[in-house]
Amino acid sequence: MSVLFTTSRCRKGDDGDMIDLNAAARFMTTHARLLDRRRFDLLTGKNGPQGPLAALAGYRNDDGGYGNALEPDLRSAGSQPVSALHAFEVFEEVAPVASEHAAHLCDWLASSTLADGGLPFALPVPDPAGCAPFFVQADSRVSSLHMTCMLAAIAHRIGRHDPVVREHRWLTTATAYSLQRIRELEGPGHALEYRFALQFLDATHDILPGADAELHRLGAWLPESGILAVEGGTDGEAMRPLDFAPVPDRPLRALFSESAIQSELDSLESAQQPDGGWTVDWDSQSPAGALEWRGWATVRALTILKANARPTP
């Protein structure tokens, strides 16, 4: 087990309750897809990076992209931009190991980029069963700042240990598109797009001229609570401080008060369910997708808690 996960039960707030890692492991074994079980194993030190990389390969298509329900609410077999996010999550988690498939994914993203340098929110979906309408109905001829800066941000983080990704022509193009579009923003807009714009600026603040200034300009639009409702989402669905800034010691984290971050960490600790897993605050398109999101959410919660030195033995 890793340094922060050396005991099966760890502190959960100030009320004496505990995060039960054994229960989390049982939840993952019982309910999570193989990919997230292998990510959980990596996170807890049970196994190394080859496990999640091997599991991820099952979602890869011959064109170098990813599909096949890697995004739980997009069950389509074909490669899609949003599925690239989940592949990149694995490539980020296995650092400093670099996978050749990260560069192949960048090649696929380059082939899917539109003339203005952006990526569409989704490509056409010929097999829409179990797919969220916002993917099926997306206009594949129009670039999406949300999708482009989301993928560019995580690619820049991967690029810190993978020079092939860092120097890839797709990332150069996506970076230029994202910064140009961000400079045109006059308000936060949709909470999800705003979140990924901030994360893009955080990832590039020290390498991209103008990114740091834009980070502070956009950061001024954050409400004091750090919480923005997701338009069109479920009741209570929102982007919260740890959605915006899950990692400490980053420029983006400095936009939030320490008390707000600690309160959110307390809430995240206390959100473990009786079955050992965590949940998401949005609706899924299928029962399978709902369970897959819970496995993903459990890895996410424990990853954030570990990054913030919680739980502590």
Q: Are 127 and 77 in contact (CB under 8 A)?
A: yes
Nearest residue to 154 (alpha-carbon basis) of 242, 212, 91: 91
- Phi first, then psi, for residue 143 (nearest 5°) are -75, 150
What does DSSP assign to residue 308?
A: T
17 — pLDDT class (breaks 50, 70, 90): low
Tokens 């030190």 belong to 45
Whether this model's pTM surpasses 0.85: yes
- pLDDT of 229 strictly over 90: yes
Where exactly are the structural domains of the chain? Answer: 3-307
Strands (E), the chain: 9-11, 18-20, 228-229, 238-239
Q: pLDDT per residue over 29-46, tens digit each?
A: 999 999 999 999 999 999
List the single range of 12-21, 52-61, 92-101, 146-155 with lowest mean pLDDT. 12-21
Q: What's the fold here for domain 3-307?
A: Glycosyltransferase (1.50.10)
In tens, the pLDDT along 158-192 reads 999 999 999 999 999 999 999 999 999 999 999 99
How far is the C-alpha of 176 from the C-alpha of 207, rounded, in Å?
12
Q: How far apart (Å, rounded) are the C-alpha atoms in residues 268 and 205?
A: 28
Task: Classify 236 in phi/psi space as left (phi over 0), alpha (psi -120 to 50) or beta.
Answer: left
When pLDDT is cut at 50, 70 and 90, the band that residue 19 belongs to is confident
- Range scoring the smallest mean pLDDT among 9-18, 274-283, 300-309: 9-18
pLDDT at 16 over 60: no
